Structure 1
Amino acid sequence: MIKKTLYFGNPAYLKTSNEQLIIELHDSGERRTIPIEDIGLLILDHRQITITQVLLARLLANNTAVITCDEAHHPAGMWFSLDGNTLQSQRFQAQVEATVPLKKQLWQQTVVSKIQNQAALLKQERQESKLLYTYAGEVKSGDSENHEAKAAAYYWKRIFPDFLMFKRDRFGDPPNNLLNYGYAILRAIVARSLTGSGLLPTLGIHHRNQYNSYCLADDIMEPYRPFVDKLVCQIIKGNGKFLEMTPSMKHLLLSIPSMDVTIEGKNSPLMNAVQRTTASLSKCYEGKARKIIYPELI
């Protein structure tokens, strides 16, 4: 069963009783309940939201990712469980002891999958994609020739319409805002799933940054980024240059956990696909598998 994504953009009081999330909306006085076990992602996007410590602890015990947004309504921080799997200590150990050659092979697989999905999206958008497929076939262990960056330079020049004069920059002009929002949701999904698979999101296979708590999440989300890009392409087609975040745009981006992806030849909600990806990664660390299972953009 796919877990629910809950978004709160109005004043609310959130508490818990009997393993239920109890929602009290200030404006309407409405009161609702949702089983905590059904929630995978909870987004808090208003300054007048109050959440109890007991509820927060229950959500984290359920391996729910909780995102808080800043005054610009962009995701600014995240809580996730540190005890999401009964075999966590064993899997942490396998992750810590992973050899350099293994991590280089895993990163090679990740980059190949990302570039292939970028190429597939370019093709869907009727842009030339042959060079990216060539790059994907040339990626070496550890991506020693940095084909990821070469592919990104080609991809970002072509994926959006020319009239946007787009440059990928986290703090740049729209649709960077839409990409940032979608990637933040994706990052939360991946971090949550890594924890559920008994892995430590901090310890990456490629990304290394002492100030980044989610290096492994940033690694594993790479092949999933084009699925977010695909949604942003849809938004651009419907809005042209008018790309400041609206409720309808946000609603579409909040559908990321449930959007259909193809993984091992079968359709699956993205959140479930991520779970299969992180489970396969755990098996790679433990020596039970040699390949990470990633989705294909078709």
Structure 2
Amino acid sequence: MIKKTLYFGNPVYLSLKNGQLVIRLPEVVKSSTLPERFKQMSEITKPIEDIGVVVLDNKQITITSGVLEALLENNCAVITCDSKSMPVGLMLPLYGNTTQNERFRHQLGASLPLMKQLWQQTIKAKIENQAVVLRECAGEEIKCMKVWAADVKSGDPDNLEARAAAYYWKNLFKIEGFTRDREGIPPNNLLNYGYAILRAVVARGLVTSGLLPTLGIHHHNRYNAYCLADDIMEPYRPYVDRLVYDMFKEEGLNCSELTKEQKARLLTIPILETVISGKRSPLMVAVGQTTASLYKCFSGELRKIFYPEM
């Protein structure tokens, strides 16, 4: 089942009733002139079990602890945004799998050679997907990208990821002065927003598979709580890039500030179509297959992560 992404950009009351998320507008709730029957009819309810991601993008949102508890118990990722409407916080459940202790031990016991091999597979998949985006969107020559993908060694000691990234960004968005930088010119803002949504989806998938999203196979920043999510999302980034490329091509300089329409398109990332293990699948479902295969690599059942192919 495809989980839904809910975005709240206006003041709203979120409460829990009979296991359902109840959505109410403050103006309706506070009104003394509207009849009670009308107030009840204005309530919108959503089944908690159908929700995968919730984005809170307004300082006047009121959410009860009961809602947060129910969302987290159902492995939902809750994203909060800052004053610039950019994702700034992520809340995930403490446990998401019945055999979590055993899975943690397998993850913590993974050998260094295995970690390097998993990173090799990750970077190879990322560069291959980048090459497809570059060919489809910019019509660029990708022979060098194919060579770099094939040449990635265990642990990527030659840092072919960075070499491919430099070529990729130089040729994808042919904008004067553009470099891929969080604080850079548009469409960096679109990419930042999209990657934040993707990161939440991947982190949620890792928790659901009983893994620690903090302990990465390559990223080891002591201040980063989602190192493993940042690792595993790498081959999925090109899906965000392709969506952002289409948006920027259509809107150009109008992307300097994110609009509600642009956010709405970026919030479709969890349902973008992917191909994984030869089958078409929504991105969120594909991420679940990836994280499940990652655990099997840690437990010794598999030697390869399942990543999508563009």
Q: TM-score, length-normalised on structure 1? A: 0.98
Cα offset, 1:270, TM superposition: 0.2
Cα offset, 1:210, TM superposition: 1.0
Query: Is 2:98 the partner of 1:86?
Result: yes
One-letter code aligned to 1:80: L
Q: Deviations over 1:30-75 (max 9, x none)?
A: 3110010000000000000011111101110100000000000000
Gap regions ≥5 residues in structure 2: 30-41
- Distance in 1, Cα, partners of 2:99 & 2:17: 29
- Distance in 2, Cα, partners of 1:84 & 1:21: 20
Cα offset, 1:291, TM superposition: 0.3
- Distance in 1, Cα, partners of 2:27 & 2:191: 31
Query: Is 2:175 the partner of 1:167?
Result: no
- Distance in 1, Cα, partners of 2:27 & 2:234: 40
Cα offset, 1:262, TM superposition: 0.8
Cα offset, 1:183, TM superposition: 0.2
Query: Is 2:233 the partner of 1:221?
Result: yes
Query: Is 2:92 the partner of 1:100?
Result: no
After the TM superposition, which residues 231-270 of structure 1 pair with which residues of structure 2 at under 5 Å, given as runs? 231-243=243-255, 244-270=257-283
- Distance in 2, Cα, partners of 1:15 & 1:132: 50
- Distance in 2, Cα, partners of 1:4 & 1:278: 19
Query: Is 2:30 the partner of 1:18?
Result: no
Cα offset, 1:28, TM superposition: 5.5
- Distance in 2, Cα, partners of 1:150 & 1:277: 25
One-letter code aligned to 1:171: E
- Report the equivalent of 1:284: 297
Q: Deviations over 1:160-214 (max 9, x none)?
A: 1x23531111111111100000000000000000000000000000000111100
Any idea what SS the aligned residue of 1:211 has? coil
- Distance in 2, Cα, partners of 1:22 & 1:42: 14
- Report the equivalent of 1:5: 5
After the TM superposition, which residues 194-213 of structure 1 pair with which residues of structure 2 at under 5 Å, given as runs? 194-213=206-225
**Which residue of 124, 140, 148 maps to 1:127?**
140
After the TM superposition, which residues 105-184 of structure 1 pair with which residues of structure 2 at under 5 Å, given as runs? 105-125=117-137, 126-160=139-173, 162-184=174-196
Conserved 8 A contact 1:164-1:241: no
Query: Is 2:40 the partner of 1:38?
Result: no
Q: Deviations over 1:104-142 (max 9, x none)?
A: 000000000000000010010211111111100000000
CA RMSD of aligned residues (A): 0.9
- Distance in 2, Cα, partners of 1:25 & 1:133: 52
Any idea what SS the aligned residue of 1:72 has? coil
Query: Is 2:63 the partner of 1:51?
Result: yes
Q: TM-score, length-normalised on structure 2? A: 0.94
**Which residue of 190, 199, 202 maps to 1:187?**
199
Which has the larger displacement, 123-132 or 106-115? 123-132
What is the aligned length? 296
- Distance in 1, Cα, partners of 2:277 & 2:92: 28
- Report the equivalent of 2:36: none
- Distance in 1, Cα, partners of 2:176 & 2:264: 22
Gap regions ≥5 residues in structure 1: none
One-letter code aligned to 2:60: Q
- Distance in 2, Cα, partners of 1:288 & 1:266: 22
Cα offset, 1:27, TM superposition: 4.3
Any idea what SS the aligned residue of 2:55 has? strand
Cα offset, 1:26, TM superposition: 2.2
Cα offset, 1:241, TM superposition: 2.1
- Distance in 1, Cα, partners of 2:53 & 2:100: 21
Q: Deviations over 1:81-110 (max 9, x none)?
A: 111000110000000010000000000000
